[in-house]
Structure 1
């Protein structure tokens, strides 16, 4: 893999970026050190494994054709030392210090002339626990692809990779000259795609609104600063609630987010909005068993978060019914599928139109809420077990909060990325997540 055009959505993410709105995903992984690893050995191991991941050697460069396009190409002067760094934290609460620093590091855009990723090894004053912060540009990978790339640093996945590379399923050869049935099928598919794109565009126009959140933190201007908040939810509690309420575990988590926002706004003394805020809930368009395409394959659902509803169980019921309607319609239709439109635009339109489209995101949704899948197996780095991992999503223009959730080790880890000036009390919102889950559990078991 030496040269490869950026897929349309990757190109859109690449051009959406600005100094105030870096478009990288992240994850903060905390490890239980046993004293067997020093900082130098962790950095060496991480650098060795990152260098062995082919995708992490790729950088973005401009191309003559198509006009406005860009391509991935292998960086001939690739030096993993420019991407893997060590930061020693002062003594104190290591987890809190690592979380604070991770938020600040998420502010900084990735250097665009290099492969767009960074990893930081964070250690404390004393040997023991350590953390790894991973930053991957959204053009490089969506959530599922980011997990596949980032997982290569762990002992279990790196060991499996060393034993033998995964073989891609062969594609039978075929003639480049299409037959009459192929021509008809292609034309029919293109007409269907165009019709679907027109329908999505119309839905976006109808869904766009100007009744923003008034004086709320979510209507504040962007400062370019970042803060990371974290919460840990019991997976058993989530599943107990789901068994009583029906639906999915993700429905429960979306209801937790809605309830947490309500609690947080009331504690701040803010009036509840006249219209419930809307969440953009990304959905992968990757098909199980399908080709391992490297580009972003995303759509999304739009979901009204019922923060105006005072009863926790009624909020969950409303979320479950709304998500059932979204799923019945499918991820390729409706205003939430706006990302699908990227496939129907020429590269030049992405180059000049992405910043405009990014500025309009605020009229479509208020907060991003995404679930990032992780391997179910126990993971470790250099023999030190992974004890927590907090995913981080980028902030869209004009927005102050993004929520990402990952399940690992029987717990749901919540990463809250916020504009640091607009949401200085992010820890209070993180605490509201656990309070809301407790309220739902009481309603389910009482």
Structure 2
């Protein structure tokens, strides 16, 4: 079946009306391939990167079933369960259901940890058709008897690879034991590792596999660059980058929570509206930071990898890897925050001398070497001089380095101490047996 528009899909009129209201006309490849199978009741394995529209790929057929086969909501007994690895992603999935199902009569609840369960239990008690949940809080409510899964009709496991990375496999097995045997199962993951394929055997019955883009491939619409800069020059380089007129909304990724706070505070002192989001912040603080970013009250969101997936904000023009990720796959998820829905985007990665190994791992994963920020290819053997580390031209050592708005203001102050130490001469003395030997100077 040749799917060119949403009108070509046999979706309920209430859903078509919602798509029209949101001006959604053309399905993405994952939607065009998965939705027909899901409407037929088949189990589906979907392999697609973030930003490819996979939430709508499972939400639309589920809402179609709720619209065409209405049933009164029952206390704590959902018809649909969607499992998500993070609170942020769970909230965004629930928001997508709300958007696509705005003309469908159904009830949903969002269940996640880090906040009081009181309002979540109250939503379940009122009756619910769809539950979007993170594993930990869902198990808590299962154990307390607030939710039962024996009447479940559809089960969705989203971001399965992220689930395993976060150590949720025991929780997943616990939840799977509560599911009825007769159900439709939908399984979405950016990568399909052997562990994930083993999990699909427990979950799915004669599934159809839908794959869009090779696993771990980067988004073609994103202009990916690298800036060679030592750690001491990263903050000044970041400031110069973010002050460029084409930077409208940016996400900056750091390796640690402390660094995220420090970078955000530094940007604020420099007059750039920024806020930080990471795992140590409360759920309310994290949600407040996301809302400020979505409403353009802040220009820059500084985040750890907790936001690498599930951060679905329109109009992110730039992603900056202030620190390179230890796992190269996280690079793909990070830069996927920009260049969404066919828009262009820019991703700039800062690389210090100590991060060369991480850069090469990323380049092996994406299958190409990143250009430097000034558009030139990297030196074959990597940067070797101070000028090269800042992304300047090579060649005549007497020529002045080429500067641009991406570069740091210069080498670290610590270099002077290191150079003076290196200039100390060794003195030669005679040993007891008459042979000469080198002796390091004192001090």
TM-score normalized by the length of structure 2: 0.27
Higher RCO (C-alpha 8 Å, min separation 6): 1
Compare the two structures and name the one with the higher strand fraction. 1
Higher Cα Rg: structure 1 or 2? Answer: 2
Output the TM-score relative to the length of structure 1.
0.27
